Amino acid sequence: MSTPENQPDGVAFWFDPSCPFTWQTSRWLAEVAAARGMPVDWRVMSLVVLNGGGDVPGHPAEEVARGAVATRVFAAVRSAAGPEVLGRFYTEVGTRVHEQGADLGPDVFREALAAVGLPAELAEDDDAQQAAVEASHAESQQRVGAEAGSPITAFAGGPGFFGPIVTPAPTGDDALRLFDGLALVSAVPGFSELKGARGELP
């Protein structure tokens, strides 16, 4: 499928690295970005922050705690190396956690850091990164204009939208068609929401 003339210059994508549905969406977006030669501004958001720092519905407390640490590690990676490397780090972490069943924790972080050429010290939980997580999360909510979960996608300088939630992630021409359709509807003033039943995770 050819690149449309009105393709956005880039996409901002806010994600919580603990969310398996977000991981599926990120694989779709990464494929589209590679096919179109389009940059993705990978950014962190937090389901823990979204829920006021408390429990995340449907997730055990230990899993929530690991997710909170992960967002701080991801914020540190973005601060140290920028959004492109953060995207590659997310690929390394997500492949291990969401596809191979590893725990979201320091061992995986250190392996992923080594794979993208960053120092292992970034795997250490740094409370000082919490402010960066909360600021990035707040920006994601401002782009949507209401409270929304992970992921949030925004085309160029336009508004942000929750999702898309795609399970399993489409590939090939299907991936490109979905992207082009979302880019079109996001440019329509007043458009706010499409929603259906979620598919099963692969």
Tell me the domain boundaries of the chain. 11-186
Cα angle for residues 89, 25, 194 (degrees, 5° grid): 150
> How far is C-alpha 2 from the geometric centre of its chain's CA atoms?
26
Cα angle for residues 163, 43, 108 (degrees, 5° grid): 100
Give residue 191's pLDDT.
83
Report helix angle 106-115 to 83-94, nearest 10. Answer: 130
Using pLDDT thresholds of 50, 70 and 90, give the confidence band for residue 54: low
112 or 145, which is more confident: 112
pLDDT at residue 55 greater than cutoff 80: no
Calculate mean pLDDT across residues 13-25. 96
Using pLDDT thresholds of 50, 70 and 90, give the confidence band for residue 146: confident
φ and ψ at residue 112, rounded to 5 degrees: -70, -40
Give residue 3's pLDDT.
54
Pairwise CA distance, residues 125 & 170, whole Å:
34
Residues 6+ apart with CB under 8 A from 65: none
Architecture in CATH of 11-186: 3-Layer(aba) Sandwich (3.40)
Using pLDDT thresholds of 50, 70 and 90, give the confidence band for residue 10: confident
62 or 72, which is more confident: 72
Torsion of CA 85, 43, 150, 51, to 10 degrees: 120
pLDDT-above-90 percentage for the chain: 72
Residue 82 DSSP class: -
Write the CA distances from 181 to 1, 88, 132, integer angstroms.
Answer: 13, 26, 32
Give residue 193's pLDDT.
77
Write the CA distances from 64 to 12, 18, 55, 94, integer angstroms.
Answer: 25, 8, 7, 16
**Residue 52 tokens, joined:** 């006021």
Calculate mean pLDDT across residues 109-134. 96
Give residue 8's pLDDT.
63
pLDDT at residue 131 greater than cutoff 90: yes
pLDDT at residue 9 greater than cutoff 60: yes
End-to-end CA distance of the chain: 26
Strands 40-44 and 152-155: unpaired
